[in-house]
Structure 1
Amino acid sequence: MGSGFQRHNLVHSVVIAEAIAVLHGLQFTLDMGFPKVILESDLRLVVNNIQKLSEDYSETRPFTWDAKNLAKKFQCYRFQFIAREGNGAVHASAVEGIRAERDSFWVEDVPLKALEVADSDRRSRRPP
């Protein structure tokens, strides 16, 4: 239903960048007014840290703590790991965002490359 990209020039850790993306994704979903969310990430560590019931002492702790609190605002939520190969459209959107010179948000739209990848994925999964 929507996606976005925000630049964070001072973030040099992939794990922190993904944790921040999770936070932005949750906030974007709340701002769009959706009561339910399934948040998928290709970084298992971030998903595991959010799902943990015990205390998280990793470098993502401030972000996972905020994500857990934001998630409570939804009627229903789920965090799950998905391999990058399982969601090429998201990766294509991220690459498109990196190329952009400013923050970008798409509502009921996606970058053309992401649409092409999603269409290709859908066709390759069709049963013969």
Structure 2
Amino acid sequence: MISRRHYLAGTWAAFAGGTLAAVVRPFPDDSASGADPLVEEFAYRGRTVAVTRHGRDPHVRIDGTKDVHLHAHTTGHADGAGPHRGYLTHAMPFAVHASPQDLARAVIDAEEAGSLVV
């Protein structure tokens, strides 16, 4: 006969396993290869900048080592519904830029001015 202690331990193990399976999932992969598709690569102030897509939001990689995650800023509901207004990043949350390239240039300018560390 199963003891109460074993029953509770088994119940908690099943609950924890189910919770982890439901909550901890990898991000959906938009590309077949698993790598982020390159949108554009350009140089600015002697630095190489690569703009890639990761899901619906772009990423900017500066000099191949510094990653900056951008958000597509919209107006409207919290779920992102609404007209597209531009891009912003956590490092510079109060400045909305028209394109990821403009925001990457602003991040590099702020880093060179000493007001931002990336």
Highest relative contact order (Cα 8 Å, sep 6+), 1 or 2? Answer: 1
Same fold (TM over 0.5): no
Higher strand share: 2
Higher helix share: 1
TM range (shorter): under 0.3
Q: Return the TM-score normalized by structure 2.
A: 0.25
Bigger Cα Rg: 2
